[in-house]
Each structure stands twice: as structure tokens, then as C-alpha cells.
Amino acid sequence: MSEHTIRNCPWCNSEAALLDFEHPDKGRSYYVSCSTCHASGPEDTSPDVVVEKWNSLPRREQPQEQFWQSVPTPIRKGDYAGKFIRLSEQPPANHAYYKQYLPKPDSVVRIARRLNAYETMGTSEDISSWGKVRALKLEYKCPTCNFTHRCYIPENWIDDGKAVFVGNCQYPDNF
């Protein structure tokens, strides 16, 4: 693999990385990813083309924190679905294997659903061992594979300040 000059992420100004993977149809493919804000760049079979496209993205002068602003928690808990939250901790992993794919602290994720933990019993995402607690099902774009993944956090993270509701202010379409 040849060396490439990769500029910082255009949205959060963190260092970006060129990643390669085996695509089922295209063979060896490359893409650029930011592990801080989970922005993913273009995908192509040529690393030079990917880097050129990434470096041509318009740069933002503001850090990520200024794109998302804290907003009040919705009054009705039934209104949580579809809202965005910023996590101050990494969510708990169902299996050790999945820990590397979970959103990192300070990530912004979307709430997909609010449910009781026991509703997941018998599924591949079983969190019924948490007991009789309400949980939030989160959706986020994985920086490794660029697919949308899901995970759960206890709803009390909102009361504990581990998850804060945020509003979108000119953030790139990253979900």
C-alpha cells in the first residue's frame, strides 16, 4: 500500500484514516473514516482516488461540538424516538466482540425506540438481564463498515447526565 496524505476530518478536525477492506463484489476497496465523529468518506477500489475525493471535501472551521447544541429533554418520554443524544460514555456491549463497534464517548447517536429491557428476550440483542428497566435503542453509523448499527443504553442515563439531548445545527448528513 502506498503512502497517502490525508487531511483532517472536515467536520470535527480530527485525524482521519485510510482503511481498506475486502468488498464482496469489487474486491479490495478503500475508504476514509474519522473515528471521532464517525464521518465516512468516499469508497473506491483505488486508494489514490479515495484520498483525492476526501481531501477535496469542503473544510468546516468549527469543531464538531458547535454543530450539535444541547436542547431540553422532551417533556414526554414517548417523544424520545427520532431525537439525537450525545453520549458521555461508551454503551454496554452484549458481547465482547461488539465493543469495538460501539459508539465512542462524545458520539452523537439517534434514539430509534424506547422499550422495556425484557422485550428483547430471545433476540440476538437480548438485554433482558438488565432487569425491569426501560432502555433506549440507539442507531449510529459505524466508522468501520459505514453501516447503521444498533445498541442499547438504560433510559436512566438521561437522568444521570450520561446522555444529553442535542439539536442539529448544520451538521452533515451522516446518518
- In this structure, the strands spanning 148-154 and 84-87 are unpaired
Residue 34 scores a pLDDT above 80: no
Q: How far is CA 142 from CA 17, 35, 151, in A?
A: 14, 9, 11
Q: Answer whether 0.85 is exceeded by the pTM.
A: no
pLDDT tops 70 at residue 171: no
Across 62-66, 71-75, 98-102, least confident range? 62-66
Residues 37 and 19: beta-carbon distance below 8 Å = no
pLDDT, residue 54, reads 76
State the pLDDT at residue 134: 92
Range from 12-16, 58-62, 159-163 that averages highest in pLDDT:
159-163
- At 169 the pLDDT is 61
The least confident of 5-9, 69-73, 125-129 is 5-9
Q: Residue 106: which region, alpha, beta or left (left: phi > 0; alpha: psi -120 to 50)?
A: left
Confidence tier at 168 by pLDDT (50, 70, 90): low
Q: pLDDT at residue 60 above 60?
A: no
pLDDT for the residue numbered 63: 41
State residue 48's pLDDT score.
83
How many CA atoms lie less than 13 Å away from 53 in the CB half-sphere? Answer: 16
Evaluate if residue 61 carries a pLDDT over 50. no
pLDDT tier, 162 (very low <50, low <70, confident <90, very high otherwise): very high
Q: How far apart are CA 56 and CA 65, in angstroms?
A: 23
Q: How confident is the model over 16-35, as a mean pLDDT?
A: 74
* DSSP single-letter state for residue 173: -
User: What is the helix (H) or strand (E) element at residue 18, kind and residue range?
Assistant: strand 17-23
For residue range 92-141, list pLDDT tens digits in order: 877 665 677 788 888 888 899 999 988 888 887 888 888 889 999 998 87
Dist CA 12 CA 169 (whole Å): 14
